[in-house]
Structure 1
């Protein structure tokens, strides 16, 4: 891959990562719930899902998913149902008493592993991501050159950019709300807002084709 083509890939990745979605919402809620540093675990989970998406596209399975209405619909509804579950769980969460020595909790505190798993499923159960990568990745792959090094470079660039944007932009953007969430009323408001955002993204996933 030429340097100019890589710059185009890098620019596209930045724009894509900055586009708000379920991953961004998940990252911000993790940051509020468990602190900015620990929110990285959820971001890592999201990157593992991106790797699978890229592998699916590279293996040609993405074409099958994109062209199979039944498979696409099954993944789409599963993803929407999972986002609704997260949203309802957040809306119904009880505010936790604030402890000055700990991060303020907006959702029930979860372990690093749970954040990683949740981030993984939030990104994985998004069939539109597979279709998007199916249209996006081939533009940066030369068919007359070895495929593996190109896909590794693409995957590395996509993941590096997404980690930086998610952690240093979306997770960091949630930090100013920490003081607001120090009260039970503030926590309920943020629970409702982030829960509604999850449900809203689920609706978009189902109804927008």
Structure 2
């Protein structure tokens, strides 16, 4: 219960993943948002498995590994931010929800969600630094890590489900092209801000 409460507070904090879920839900409808969520959750499960196997320790033991992943993640966020700003210059789709019915759009949203999560070294450090603090001394580290990962993924799934529901409902109510352009501008600048924060992080 202590881990679940701590993880929920961290999961609800604004970050690139949450921003991506909101943006995708607004621009592609709820199916697109859920596809992005699935990609993010897949990435979290990957980090959890890597932590259970001890692989994430490389991120703190090797400065080169951490910096390489940090730079790649920042570059990825820059691309997302630039694409959002570019889309804000185009005429808005008057029926954004219909695009979510295209499987290719949902698969693209899944890939973006997966990439945003896996290319964020802080996600790996989160699992490696937080989970061991809650593992009982007499418990098996591998199985306990998988259990805590499952708890975290479940909480994220519930939280992101609420975000997609709220964001897609807002998009359906506000169909003005200016709203969608402004959203792209805000998310574009936010992604660039997250990229700058990742580049300047020397922890």
Same fold flag (TM > 0.5): yes
Normalising by structure 1, we get a TM-score of 0.85
Distance 1:138 1:198 in 2: 30
Question: What's 1:178 paired with?
Answer: 171
8 Å CA contact retained: 1:32, 1:104: no
Aligned mates of 1:131, 1:152 — CA distance in 2: 16
Mapped contact 2:32–2:105 kept (Cα < 8 A) = no
Q: Structure 1: how far apart are the matches of 2:17 and 2:55?
A: 23
CA contact (8 A) 1:34 1:110 kept: no
1:1-209 alignment, distance < 5 Å:
7-93=1-87, 94-99=90-95, 103=97, 111-168=105-162, 170-175=163-168, 177-178=170-171, 182-209=175-202
Specify whether residues 148 and 61 from structure 1 end up closer, same or farther in structure 2 by C-alpha distance, changes over 3 A only: closer
Q: Cα offset for 1:184? A: 2.8
Counterpart Cα distance in 2 of 1:208 and 1:60: 23
Cα pair 2:92 2:181 within 8 Å, conserved:
no
Give aligned pairs, total: 197
Gaps of 5+ in 2: none
Contact 2:35 2:110 in 1 (8 A): yes
Aligned-pair distance for 1:28?
0.3
Instruction: Say which is worse superposed, 76-85 or 148-157, in terms of deviation.
Output: 148-157
- Give 5+ residue unaligned stretches, structure 1: 1-6
Distance 1:42 1:111 in 2: 10
